[in-house]
Structure 1
Amino acid sequence: MAKHGGGGGSNGKKYGGGCCGFIVLAGFVVLIYWAIFQPHHIRATVGSATLSNLTVASNAEVSYSLAVTLSLYNPSVRVNIYYDTIDATLRFRDAVLGPAANGTSPSEFYQRRKTADDVELQFDYGRGPGGVAVAAVAAAELEKEMKGGGPVSLGLDVDVRVRYVFRIFKLRQKPRIWCALSIPLTAEGQGPGVGGAVASGDPCWVKY
């Protein structure tokens, strides 16, 4: 009986060792594949941005509409990308001016290697209940920029969930994209709102 128990333990150890060896080998194969067909980081640029009806109320509420075209490029030679989620937020310095009001278009898509796709971002925060409440200091700084005669400096913060795909291999990543928007302002009609547009093509900062 004792010998029988010992044999079972030995077989269990061999089985466990075989499983560990298989896992290590499989991991090594995946590593080699990704070393050969390594996906490159996506690149992002601002194609255009149109700002309208930007106002700051006395209660530190910011109203505006903004449309941004963000171009995403997959530089990989062999690896395709699934964009699963795209979440965009507009900021003025440390103040959050709201997420993309209508989501993004498209909200998810498949991108082949060595191709670029445009994503439309819409921010629509009208006056009254539709505005965004910010800290009084941030509101004062924004209003100062608006009256200074120069461009207004905004930041576009985009969080993306992607899957790099090469044949049966998949790698999930969560890159963060940051774009600086410098939009020259002009008065709009008789009201207090100001707006402007840029077609910059300026590159954005992408961090993995």
Structure 2
Amino acid sequence: MGSASRAVSCLCCPCKCLACGLFSCLCSILVSLLVTAGVLALILYFIFRPHMIAATVDSAALTQFALAPNSALSYNLTVAMTVRNPNKRVGLYYDGVEALALFEGQRFGYAPLDSFSQGTDAVTELKPGFHGQQPVQGDVTAANFRAQQSAGAFDVEVKLNAKLRVKVWAFKVPGPRARISCPISVPAPGNASAPAFQPTGCKVWF
């Protein structure tokens, strides 16, 4: 009975049967493409095994870091850091690179950096510099500034942001946006008794 009904339906509306057949065919092709893409992605992952970028702040110095009564922060901060691509089969391109400096969660410094590329298992040295004057907000921030000044070192966060492109063989494909955060303790300027700066590892996420 069911077969007879479908036959009658097809005879009455052959376009409907053709559309159903095309839809079924397209679904099968789409599923096959998705499965193939998934298998290829898995194979490429096991071949290349991408690793997370590594970054370290090797040195940092403050020649000026003063908070005026009007809450204007005058600063001169220099930083030397290294960024490493640990991948042995994947090259990286860094575009739109920017460095930020923050105190108590408030940005006080900004430094655009040149785009750069890294071959496999390569290390790049970056030296962002921040200098100028920037107002900071809040009595708590001012109190923490005075406390850290008395302690002889300031807790500063240096951030690095960049848009990645990934090179696999001769192909370059868009990658994620890399965000690097480096919380560092920098000796206060003019404090000879302050402990020397210690190289500090950074956190990286995408």
Calculate the TM-score normalised by the size of structure 1: 0.80
Aligned to 1:60: 71
Query: More displaced, 152-161 or 60-69?
Result: 152-161
CA distance in 1, matches of 2:195, 2:120: 31
Q: After TM superposition, list the pairs within 5 Å mapping 1:92-171 onto structure 2.
A: 92-94=103-105, 96-100=106-110, 102-104=111-113, 106=114, 108-125=115-132, 130-146=133-149, 148-167=150-169, 168=171, 170=173
Structure 2, unaligned stretches of length 5 or more?
1-11
Q: Secondary structure at the match of 1:16?
A: helix
Match in the other structure for 1:191:
none
Residue 102 of structure 2 corresponds to 91
Residue 15 of structure 1: how far off its partner (Å): 3.0
Distance 1:82 1:37 in 2: 17
Matches within 5 A, 1:4-43: 5-43=16-54
User: Is residue 87 of structure 2 the alignment partner of residue 76 of structure 1?
Assistant: yes
Once superposed, what is the RMSD of the aligned Cα atoms? 2.6
Instruction: Tell me the distance in 1 between the aligned counterparts of 2:29 and 2:164.
Output: 34
Name the one with the larger helix percent: 2
Deviation at 1:64, TM superposition (A): 0.5
Aligned length: 193
Change (3 A) 1:8 1:154: closer
The Cα of 1:10 is off from its aligned counterpart by 0.8
Shift of 1:203: 1.6
In structure 1, list runs of 5 or more residues that go unmatched: 189-193
- TM-score, normalising length: structure 2: 0.80
Q: Cα distance, 1:8 vs. partner?
A: 4.2
Q: Distance in 1 between matches of 2:37 and 2:153?
A: 54
> Of the two, which has the highest radius of gyration?
2
The share of aligned pairs that are identical, in percent, is 24
In 1, distance between residues paired with 2:15 and 2:153? 83
The answer to which structure, 1 or 2, has the higher relative contact order (CA under 8 A, 6+ apart) is: 1
Shift of 1:141: 1.4
Q: Secondary structure at the match of 2:51?
A: coil
**Which whole-Å CA distance do the structure 1 matches of 2:38 and 2:118 have between them?**
26
Name the residue aligned to 2:184.
181
Superposed CA deviations along residues 26-50 of structure 1, whole A, max 9, x for unmatched, are 2321222123212110000112212
SS of residue matched to 1:131: strand
Q: Distance in 1 between matches of 2:195 and 2:95?
A: 29
Q: In the aligned structure 2, how far is the partner of 1:20 from the partner of 1:72?
A: 41
Q: How far apart are residue 5 of structure 1 and its match?
A: 4.1
Shift of residue 89, structure 1, vs aligned partner = 2.1
Q: Give deviations 1:150-187, integer Å, cap 9, x for gaps.
A: 22221112233223321337462233222122222243
